[in-house]
Amino acid sequence: MPSIWSETVRLPRFSPLDGDTQTRVLIIGGGLAGILCAHALRRDGVDCLLLEAEELCGGVTQNTTAKITSQHGLIYDGLIRRFGLEKARLYLRANEDALEQYRVLCRDIDCDFAEEDAFVFSRAGRNRLRREVMALRRLGFPAELVPSPPLPFPTDGAVRFPRQARFHPLKFLAALLPGLRIHEHTKVLELAPGMAVTHQGRVRAESIIIATHFPILNKHGCYFLKQYQHRSYVLALRGAPELSGMYVDEAPDGISLRREGQLLLLGGGGHRTGKAGGGWEALDAFAREYWPQAETVCRWATQDCMTLDGVPYIGAYSRGTRGLFVATGFNKWGMTSAMAAAEILTDLVQGRENPYAPVFNPSRSILRPQLAINALEAAAGLLTPTVRRCPHMGCALKYNAAEHSWDCPCHGSRFDGEGRLLDGPATGDLRR
């Protein structure tokens, strides 16, 4: 089911790779993060080539709700406790810098960019809201507690971030593509030091950036343990009352709201990929309760990589992979995270220090409670007897009745009813 973004914009198409070639930096993955990396490298005069296995922005990028914000839920109190005040401040600054990069770029791009305040609300008391505001004040950010946000259902208040933004992601990316060196329908089959192998030829590069949403290389980095995937759903409603601002529930299974023109985007119904969840049914029920006069004109689903500690993995792929870099684990906040990744990786591949790189270092400690949950899910998936197995690491697939797909609860790969690959980290279809 296409999103409102893909329904209103058609990106230019690029030919497949034709024969061996070389470049200074190879980028694998043609979503927002990959394209922003290519744009930033071109800005710095660095020769780069981007390979996309299918078509540009055919995955998560076209299914976002496109909120550009440094407000990533109620996270800053926890970041201070886990990492300390300075690293929490750097995380905030990296995302605020990313927001500013969008402001600058969008001055010259017609992509419906608009500034909006962002709110994270609670329906479970104000204690976490108060702690978050106190944490943000320690970080020097002008957040405030709003006792009664203008929502049609009761809340216990919200934390407001001023001057955040929203846009049309595909209109934005369409303006960045001219002049970039890109090949679509070129799947990377094998990676070796300084080289990628495809059906159409080999690409030699000094550095390689893997920006494939979920990393495709299993032999290094342990990303299959360091993150899992989370599925969520969106309804576009026509006829709902005007709503100023962007809103997200602090609860893990809560909803999000924002306007896009005459439409209200209602997100939620989320669950770990391969597990049961509310899905569109929960959103339909919510819409009927609070906007019974509204009409659903579009619906779509998306998938997010969730890290062990709530911070993306951006930097060297692993300690033992020289010249190989990664951007993944954006934890539902891909707009600012992708821009931050582009700036960090553009510095790293050129041998420059980046002040934010230590915060996002993929080789940081994995000793977090989520690691045990991921390991148990993987063990259960491997031991469950079933005919349909995921080609990624052999886990049992679960049928997703709402989307008529076979989903992997271990690492999030998805396949349609015919066994064709829908989402990675698997890189091929189911065996027949």
Tell me the per-residue pLDDT of 359-368, one tens digit each, with 9 for 90 and over: 999 999 998 9
Amino acid at 381: G
Q: E strands of 47-151, at which residues?
A: 48-51, 67-68, 114-121, 144-146
Phi first, then psi, for residue 228 (nearest 5°) are -135, 175
* Sequence-distant contacts of 11-14: CB under 8 A, at least 24 apart: 11/55, 11/56, 11/57, 11/170, 11/173, 11/174, 11/177, 12/174, 12/177, 12/178, 13/55, 13/184, 14/52, 14/56, 14/182, 14/183, 14/184
Name the residue with tokens 């339909």: 284
For residue 331, the model assigns a pLDDT of: 96
Length of the chain: 432
Amino acid at 229: Q
Q: Is the dihedral of CA 84, 89, 92, 94 positive or negative?
A: negative
For residue 383, the model assigns a pLDDT of: 80
Judged on CB neighbours under 10 Å (0-12, 13-18, 19+), 104 is exposed
What does the longest C-alpha to C-alpha distance in the chain come to? Answer: 61
For residue 393, the model assigns a pLDDT of: 86
Given the DSSP bridges, would you call strands 256-260 and 144-146 parallel, antiparallel or unpaired? unpaired
How many angstroms separate the CA atoms of 361 and 370, rounded? 18
Phi first, then psi, for residue 381 (nearest 5°) are -65, -35
For residue 277, the model assigns a pLDDT of: 86
Contact, 408 vs 381, CB < 8 A? yes
Token pair belonging to 103? 């402001």
For residue 385, the model assigns a pLDDT of: 81
Whole-model pTM? 0.95
Nearest residue to 331 via CA among 301, 364, 307? 307
For residue 432, the model assigns a pLDDT of: 65
How many angstroms separate the CA atoms of 79 and 10, rounded? 39
How many angstroms separate the CA atoms of 44 and 350, rounded? 10
Q: What is the mean pLDDT of each run of 10 residues along the chain (432 residues)?
A: 89 96 98 98 98 94 96 97 97 98 97 97 95 97 95 96 97 97 96 95 98 93 94 96 94 92 95 90 95 95 95 96 97 97 98 97 93 86 82 89 89 89 88 72
